[in-house]
Structure 1
Amino acid sequence: MPAHHDQHPRNGRAGAALAATPEPGTGAGPGAGTLDLSITIGGDAGQGVESSGAGFTRALARSGLHVFSITDYRSRIRGGHNFYQIRVADRPLYSHADPVHVLIGLTEETIKIHLDNLAPRAAVIYDQEFRHVDAEALRRHHVRPVPLPLAQVAKKHGSKVMMNTAALGAAAGLMNYNVEYLESVIKENFASKGDRVVEANLKVVREGWKLARDAAGDFPYTLPDPGGRPRRMVLHGNHAFALGAVAAGCRFIAAYPMTPGTSLFEWMVAHSQELGIVAKHAEDEIAAICMAIGAGHAGARAMISTSGGGFSLMVEALGMAGMVEVPVVLVVSQRGGPSTGLPTRTEQGDLLFAIHASQGEFPRIVLAPGTVDQCFEAAVRAFNLAEHYQTPVIVLLDQFLSTHLRAVEPDTFRWEDVRHDRATTLTHPQLDRLDGPYLRYRDTDDGISPRAIPGHPRAVYAISTDEHDEEGHISEEIRNRRQQMEKRMRKLDTAQAEMRGPAWYGPEDADLTLICWGSTYGPCREAVDLFNRDKGEGGRINLLHFSDLWPFPVEQTLPELRKIRRAVAVEQNYTSQFARLLRMMTGFEVHATVNKFDGRPMSPQEILTHVEGEVPVRA
């Protein structure tokens, strides 16, 4: 049996031991470039942690640096510790990373929680009025206390609520980062609140910057201004998928908001009028999927965004879409379960559920993009596959992929290459030339019947959720049941040829292969680079990533599995669901598994902590 490694919440020290200690003044960290720093902003819900982190991320990107940031928040409106971690480098980033080099503590609790995840000589920025922060204890921990009058500065210019703005300015000043980039973001973020609010925040950020700059001394972790300001987009997986859906011709979305899928729906709603999209906030998830199925039946490219709990409610209607052969795209952004579970955390626990959801058997396609970049393409493919095969397509995202921000190049999303596959939907001229009666569910060699949008006089047909004949009329006859069941399921054999096999990253002659799917690609990729850079002489690792999960690409996978010397499956679930699927479909059994199910995303250092002992040592 494979070994099972239980991953626990990050405590930092195990991971920090694997990260290279940066040289003074460079910030060189886990990556291959000369700059690699992590910044964490922590505080209570309601203190603007998320908005501050997102704003700082955009400011860093505007200077030409690469960014990758994650947010960690509790499922409560106010109170409770939240934090936002930003990684910045001079090369493309695919994951967050430990340890942290600058900690901004908006509460005293933040410092206690994150202290063990700080790099040597890291800085802790906090308000000088905090009564229970022991500066000497921080120094004994080999980190630098930076107490500043943050609340006082905020109140001087209007309100204590701007303390987070002062803290951002202080972080920029400490790292000698050009404050103008932060100022540009502040002007945009507060423009709707008037010049007075904008000017107050600008004064606060400038004063915070100057205070920290004066106190910086020989702080080793600095941020250069690369200049040139290359234009990059900073967005997360949900927004990238929404852009792809627009490019794919989506004209209808229905949803009942459910974290972490809500921001996808919100984006579509916000842009619905200018893009000609019908967006329906349904009374519940059952209504949402039924609306989308209706829209798909009427000819619109339709989708639903939800999470695992909402998807559970949609299961019966999912079967209806399979039976009546209506194209519909379901975006399921996974979170920890069961029940309401961990509403604001991440997990990969819905894979086998998505493949087998609903009673009975019917074809569906399941995709799981691995990066923000891939979310755009996955959306385009999902709509094309759904319409071509006239079947539901389920796209598995998760909280990590749906919410982390990453800087991407503008030409990452190639709109000019997008094509709409409507080959199996008959046009009005084709229906005009129809020879004989129109059979909506005609038995065909590939399982795909010719689809007609309602409204043409020569394509009037019945649609039934009971078993039906080729015309759509209810039938319980044995021969008909066999014919229609075999016809529908034949789509899986046809679609399998379009499924993409796994993708490699890393050296071909690796001694160990990380097998992953969906969003674990980024942390695994960074782990491969980190290991091979630091320990490549004793052995090398690579990764094999799967994004097309059902129908499983067996023929495309088997040759790749033969190249593996030793395999470790890396998954954010308890039962190694993909490793089980891989064994079921190919007979291949991994040698060990790394599983994390505490709701927090894996970092590259965590992965390496658990796989180092699995890498064979070269002679």
Structure 2
Amino acid sequence: MIEQLSWKVGGQQGEGIESTGEIFAIALNRLGYYLYGYRHFSSRIKGGHTNNKIRVSTKEVRSVSDDLDMLIAFDQETIDVNAHELHSGGIIIGDAKFKPVKPEGCKAELVIIPFSEIATELGTSLMKNMVAIGATSAALGVDTATYQAVVEEIFGRKGEKVVTNNMEAIQRGADAFIQSAGKSVQTLSLKKADGKNRMFMIGNDAIALGALAGGARLMAAYPITPASEIMEYLIKKLPEFGGTVIQTEDEIAAATMAIGSNYAGVRTLTASAGPGLSLMMEAIGLSGITETPLVIVDTQRGGPSTGLPTKQEQSDLLAMIYGTHGEIPKIVIAPSTVEEAFYDAIEAFNLAEEYQCPVILLSDLQLSLGKQTVEPLDYHKINIRRGKLNDQELPEREDKSYFKRFEVTDDGVSNRVIPGTKNGIFHVTGVEHDETGKPSEVPQNRKDQMEKRLRKISNLSFPFPIYKREQHEESDVLLIGFNSTRGSIEEAIPRLEEDGFKVNHAQIRLVHPFPADELLPMLERAKKVVVVEHNATGQLASLVKMNAGHGDKIESLLKYDGNPFLPGDIHQQCKEMLVNGHI
């Protein structure tokens, strides 16, 4: 019996690879297992190798595993590309249609099953993925009846016969594995899970749900990988709460429409990836100078330009902080788990209205599209804060002057009104202005307004700017990361400690304004610092050095080949740095 399993299915894009993993994972999630799934897919609609790697465990997991226990192959390319991950006790289950062959040196067992033939006998070759699920079940010792409810939910609208045929495909796949493998193949039986109900979702769904729970009622966006799922989720859900999604002609329109809607008092968001954020930069500046709340989600992907649109990278960090022309207040937050993505989405709207500025919720492809088990969300934690928003009638001013929407205040935040509020009329423009919004180029006014705007985030209150794991008062090494690297870092730490190193961990959740005061004590108590990030230039490391110093201690551990960090990557490379004295 094993406590965790690493399982992967692969083939050509468009062959049902995603649905195979989805059905398998949902069923095991409902048995109470913890799961973490990551898809490798091509940037084209159909064709090109794709795979879905899913980790199943009796304990919480937040990263892709280093190795592989079982590989389901719909073509030879899947075996050739992924066999190196298999350990000596692993199993390859291949479709007889392509005559599977193990690469030289591969010690995994090969079991050949006629996926396509069985599926065709049942009516359509498309059901070969269900046959594969059945073979997987037999190898794991999972009852095929486990999939009944999932199959009914997915295929029930197509009729009872379709449900019956799919369940038969699963059963015949299980029978075929038992017959083909015999006693020569050791099954990978999973220990029983706790049976508790947990959610199973991608980060984008958590962000969308958080936006909904946080009071958003409009999303203006243009589809782009890997952000589109946020839009797709809200297209289904917002109308149920009196809201809507508008697909705009481009990202420029999306950002300006979101500004207009927020100006009118409706909590609104937009979401995109790096190329779309580039187009939004001027509008972000407009949000800053007009002090209009704006929430933007940036799901980072491989760049520059179109780059690697379906692969992992974290290279938008500095652009999100410094990309806009001129100087405006801006808040950038970076959740590192699906749960944090939900709560941070809510907090993004609160911060945008409290500080009347753009807030960027920074994600990355692995966090946005990686699917994982999530403990039930606590809706009692939701707190809606709208800052200095006045939706009541204002007293009439004796001098009949305009409302001082941009009044210079000690905290930098001015009172705000909903358009149409009686006695609340003011001027608004993208040029510099005085307290009533009237355009002004008076030097002292410019100085006062600039300082006022920048002052508002100088004392920003954010509940958890850094996730800290401090096991040691003094550490040999402090590991720092942001977004999805948290899971792999957390798994690498026990391995480094087994090697004799004292390790602490800081995951940056508020990247701007940078939480230097919170991080500084950890830096001071560390002999060495390793910053783990998915880019080629060490952007987070630069932020740490710029805001908290200690550059002589800091080394970057970088990965920018499009693949996520594995725990083993961080363990081995960090160990080499420490042993060889690189840091």
Q: Fold match, TM over 0.5?
A: yes
Counterpart position of 2:388: 424
**Partner SS, residue 494 of structure 1:** coil
Is it true that 1:36 corresponds to 2:4 in the alignment?
A: yes
Aligned to 2:438: 473
Report whether the alignment pairs 1:451 with 2:413.
no
Structure 2 counterpart of 1:385 = 351
Cα displacement (A) at 1:484 = 0.6
Alignment pair present for 1:193 and 2:126:
no
Map 1:74-89 onto structure 2 (within 5 A). 74-89=42-57
Residue 592 of structure 1, CA deviation:
2.0
Structure 2 partner of 1:602: 565
Shift of 1:307: 0.5
Within 5 A, what are the aligned runs for 1:151-166? 151-166=116-131
State the alpha-carbon separation in 2 of the partners of residues 221 and 597 from structure 1: 36
Structure 1 121/251 Cα, relative in aligned 2: closer, same or farther at 3 Å? same
Question: Aligned equivalents of 2:187 and 2:483: distance in 1?
Answer: 33
Q: For 2:130 and 2:455, how far apart are their aligned partners in 1?
A: 59
Do the aligned residues in 1 keep the contact of 2:212 with 2:238 (CA within 8 Å)?
no
- The farther-off stretch of 226-235 and 272-281 is 226-235
Q: Deviations along 1:151-188, whole A, 9 cap, x unmatched?
A: 11101101111111111110111111122222322221
- Cα distance in 2, alignment partners of residues 427 and 134 from structure 1: 70
Q: How do 1:299-318 and structure 2 match up within 5 A?
A: 299-318=265-284
Whole-Å separation in 2 of the counterparts to 1:549 and 1:448: 21
- 2:17–2:52 contact (8 Å) kept in structure 1: yes
- CA distance, structure 2, for counterparts of residue 511 and residue 90 of structure 1: 31
Aligned to 2:372: 406
Within 5 Å, give how 1:117-266 maps onto structure 2: 117-131=85-99, 133-134=100-101, 140-214=105-179, 215=181, 217=183, 219-220=185-186, 222-224=188-190, 226=192, 229-266=195-232
C-alpha change, 1:419 and 1:465, in structure 2 (3 Å) is same
Q: CA deviation at 1:539?
A: 2.1
Separation in 2 of the partners of 1:434 and 1:600? Answer: 61
Aligned-partner SS, 2:436: coil
Structure 1 residue 529 and structure 2 residue 494: aligned?
Answer: yes
Select which of 481, 484, 507 maps to 2:471. Answer: 507
Which range is displaced more, 364-373 or 165-174? 165-174
Relative distance call for 1:161 and 1:479 in structure 2 (3 A) is same
What corresponds to 1:569 in structure 2?
531
The Cα shift of 1:283 comes to 0.8
**Could you say what secondary structure the match of 1:568 adopts?**
strand
Q: What is the DSSP-based 3-state SS (H/G/I as helix, E as strand, rest coil) of the residue aligned with 1:542? A: strand
Deviates more, 1:570-579 or 1:181-190: 181-190
Native 8 Å contact 1:452 1:459 kept in 2: yes
The answer to whether the 8 Å contact 2:405/2:414 transfers is: yes
Amino acid in structure 2 at the alignment position of 1:547: R
Q: 2:405 aligns with which of 421, 440, 447?
A: 440
Query: Residues 435 and 236 (structure 1 numbering): CA distance in 2 closer, same or farther, change over 3 Å?
Result: farther
The structural deviation recorded for 1:141 is: 2.1
Give the match for residue 556 of structure 2.
593
Contact 2:478 2:522 survives alignment (8 Å): no
Amino acid at match of 1:313: L
Range that drifts further, 249-258 or 177-186: 177-186
8 A Cα contact 1:175 1:219, kept in partner: no
Bigger relative contact order, structure 1 or 2 (CA pairs below 8 A, ≥6 apart): 1
**RMSD across aligned C-alpha pairs, in angstroms?**
1.9
> CA–CA distance in 2 between the matches of 1:361 and 1:307?
22
Instruction: Output one character per residue of 1:269-302: Cα deviation in whole Å (capped at 9) or x when no partner.
Output: 1112112222101011111111100000000111
* CA displacement 1:590-618 (0-9 Å, x = unmatched): 4321111111111111111211123369x
Q: 1:45 aligns with which of 4, 13, 16?
A: 13
Determine the C-alpha separation between the residues in 1 that align with 2:283 and 2:109.
57
Question: 1:373 is matched with which residue?
Answer: 339
Aligned partner of 2:234 among 268, 285, 288: 268
How many residues are treated as equivalent by the alignment? 576
User: Which stretch shows the higher mean deviation, 68-77 or 204-213?
Assistant: 204-213
Distance 2:193 2:466 in 1: 38
Contact 2:97 2:117 in 1 (8 A): no
Q: CA deviation at 1:265?
A: 0.7
CA drift of 1:216 comes to 5.2
Counterpart CA distance in 2 for 1:404 and 1:485 is 41
Determine the C-alpha separation between the residues in 2 that align with 1:505 and 1:205.
44
Task: Confirm or deny: 8 A CA contact 2:293 2:357 kept in the other structure.
Answer: yes
Q: Distance in 1 between matches of 2:10 and 2:246?
A: 35
Q: 1:220 offset after TM fit, Å?
A: 4.3
Q: Over residues 506-530 of structure 1, what are the superposed CA-to-partner deviations in whole Å (9 max), with x where a residue is unaligned?
A: 6225422211112211111111134
Partner amino acid, structure 2, of 1:417:
K
Q: 1:555 aligns to what?
A: 517
What secondary structure, in the 3-state scheme, does the structure 2 residue paired with 1:244 have? helix
Structure 1 CA distance, aligned partners of 2:323 and 2:19? Answer: 37
Amino acid at match of 1:426: N
Q: Is the 8 A contact 2:58 2:194 kept in 1?
A: no
**Quick one: distance in 2 between partners of 1:222 and 1:433?**
76
CA contact (8 A) 1:42 1:106 kept: yes
Cα separation, 2, equivalents of 1:65 and 1:416: 26
Percent of residue pairs identical: 36
Give unpaired runs (5+ residues) of structure 1.
1-24, 27-34
Pair 1:338 & 2:287 matched:
no
Deviation at 1:130, TM superposition (A): 2.1
Contact (CA 8 Å) 1:178, 1:225: kept in 2 or not?
no
Give per-residue Cα distances to partners, 1:331-363, cap 9 Å, x unaligned: 000001111111111110000000012210000
Q: State the Cα deviation string for residues 41-66 of structure 1 (Å, max 9, x = none).
A: 00001101112112211111111111
CA displacement at 1:193 relative to structure 2 = 2.0
Q: Is the 8 A contact 1:539 1:616 kept in 2?
A: no
In the alignment, what sits opposite 2:506? Answer: 544
- DSSP-derived class of the 1:42 partner: strand
> Which of residues 15, 25, 41 is equivalent to 1:57?
25
Letter in 2 for 1:415: Y
* Aligned counterpart, 1:349: 315
Letter of the structure 1 residue corresponding to residue 313 of structure 2: E
Question: How far off is 1:197 after superposition?
Answer: 1.7
- Structure 2 gaps, min length 5: none
Structure 2 counterpart of 1:4:
none
Q: 1:591 to 1:423 in 2, by over 3 A?
A: closer
Partner of residue 20, structure 1: none
Deviations 1:215-272 (A, max 9, x none): 2536445243636631110001111111111111111111000000000111001112
Contact 1:347/1:573 (<8 A) preserved: yes
- Once the two structures are superposed, the pairs formed by residues 99-118 of structure 1 within 5 Å of their partners are 99-118=67-86
* Alpha-carbon distance, 1:79 to partner: 1.0
**Bigger mean CA deviation after superposition, 566-575 or 184-193:** 184-193
SS at match of 2:117: helix
Deviation at 1:435, TM superposition (A): 8.9
**CA deviation after TM superposition for structure 1 residue 499, in Å:** 6.6
Per-residue CA distance 1:450-490 (angstroms, 9 max, x = gap): 01111112101110110000000101111111111111011
Which of 546, 567, 573 does residue 584 from structure 1 map onto?
Answer: 546
TM-score (norm 2): 0.95
Paired AA for residue 91 in structure 2: A
What amino acid does structure 2 have at the position aligned with 1:46?
G
Name the CA shift for 1:191/1:581 in 2 (closer, same or farther; >3 Å).
same
What amino acid maps onto 2:383 in structure 1?
R
- Map of 1:288-299 to 2, 5 A cutoff? 288-299=254-265
